[in-house]
Structure 1
Amino acid sequence: MTAVLPVRRLLTSLVFVAIYWVWAPVGAQTFAEPAAAAGSAERSLHLKPRYYRWFVEPGKPWIEKNTSYGYLDWEVPLSQVGLVLVDVWDRHYLEDPKARAEKIIQEKIRPLLDACRRAGVEIIHAPSPPQAKECPTWVGRTRAEPPAPAACATVDRGQPWPPAEFRGKTGPYARYARPVEPQANYVNECRAGLTMHPDVRPVGSEVVVATGDELHEHCRKKGILFLVFLGFNTNACVLLRDYGTLEMGKRGYEVIVVRDCTTGMESFETTDELWQTRGAILFLEMFGKYSVASEELIAGLPKPAEQP
Structure 2
Amino acid sequence: MGELEIPTWYYRHYDADFALDVPAEAFGGWNKTTLPIRRDKTALVVMHAWDCGTREQYPGWHRVVEYIPRSYDVCDRVLPGVLGAARDAGMTVYHVVRPGGDYFRDCPGFKRAVRLAGPEQPKARRVEHDDTFRRLTAFKARDVFPGEHNRADIAAGQSRIDFPATARPQGEEGVAESTAQLHALCREDGINHLVYAGFAINGCLQTSPGGMVDMQREGYLCSAIRQAVTAIENKETARAETAKEIALWQVALLYGFVYDADDWIAALRRGA
If the length of structure 2 is used for normalisation, what is the TM-score?
0.83
Counterpart position of 1:75: 36
Task: State the shift of 1:75 in Å.
Answer: 2.1
Distance 1:219 1:141 in 2: 13
Counterpart position of 1:84: 45
Is the CA contact (8 Å cut-off) linking 2:16 and 2:24 kept in structure 1?
A: no
- Pick from 41, 52, 70: which aligns with 2:11? 52
Deviations 1:30-63 (A, max 9, x none): xxxxxxxxxxxx33332232222122499x9582
% identity of equivalent residues: 20
Counterpart position of 2:56: none
- 1:65 lines up with 2:25 in the alignment: yes
Task: State the shift of 1:294 in Å.
Answer: 0.8
Is the CA contact (8 Å cut-off) linking 2:45 and 2:94 kept in structure 1?
A: yes
Counterpart position of 2:57: none
State the one-letter code of the partner of 2:136: Y
Task: State the shift of 1:238 in Å.
Answer: 0.7
Is the CA contact (8 Å cut-off) linking 1:83 and 1:123 kept in structure 2?
A: yes
Is the CA contact (8 Å cut-off) linking 2:200 and 2:230 kept in structure 1?
A: yes
Counterpart position of 2:62: 94
Distance 2:33 2:222 in 1: 14
Distance 2:13 2:48 in 1: 31
- 1:193 lines up with 2:160 in the alignment: yes
Deviations 1:231-273 (A, max 9, x none): 0111211111121112211211111111110111211211101
Distance 2:32 2:15 in 1: 15
Deviations 1:58-109 (A, max 9, x none): 9x95822222123453222210010000000012732641221111112111
Change (3 A) 1:178 1:45: farther
**Residue segments in structure 2 that go unaligned for 5+ positions in a row:** 54-60, 143-147
Is the CA contact (8 Å cut-off) linking 1:44 and 1:302 kept in structure 2?
A: no
Alignment of 1:217-296 (within 5 A): 217-296=184-263
- 1:110 lines up with 2:80 in the alignment: yes
- 1:146 lines up with 2:116 in the alignment: no
Is the CA contact (8 Å cut-off) linking 1:124 and 1:207 kept in structure 2?
A: yes
**Residue segments in structure 1 that go unaligned for 5+ positions in a row:** 1-41, 152-160
SS in 1 for 2:250: helix
Task: State the shift of 1:278 in Å.
Answer: 1.6
Is the CA contact (8 Å cut-off) linking 1:45 and 1:302 kept in structure 2?
A: no
Is the CA contact (8 Å cut-off) linking 1:285 and 1:291 kept in structure 2?
A: yes
How many residue pairs get matched?
Answer: 250
Is the CA contact (8 Å cut-off) linking 2:201 and 2:230 kept in structure 1?
A: yes
Deviates further, 284-293 or 99-108: 284-293
State the one-letter code of the partner of 2:120: P
If the length of structure 1 is used for normalisation, what is the TM-score?
0.74
Distance 2:194 2:92 in 1: 10
Counterpart position of 2:107: 135
Deviates further, 280-289 or 270-279: 280-289
Distance 1:70 1:56 in 2: 15
Task: State the shift of 1:221 in Å.
Answer: 1.4
SS in 2 for 1:183: helix
Of structures 1 and 2, the larger Rg is shown by: 1
- Pick from 117, 125, 130: which aligns with 2:95? 125
State the one-letter code of the partner of 1:226: H
Task: State the shift of 1:287 in Å.
Answer: 2.2
Counterpart position of 1:175: 135
Deviations 1:173-226 (A, max 9, x none): 322223342221122112121111121101111111111111111111111111
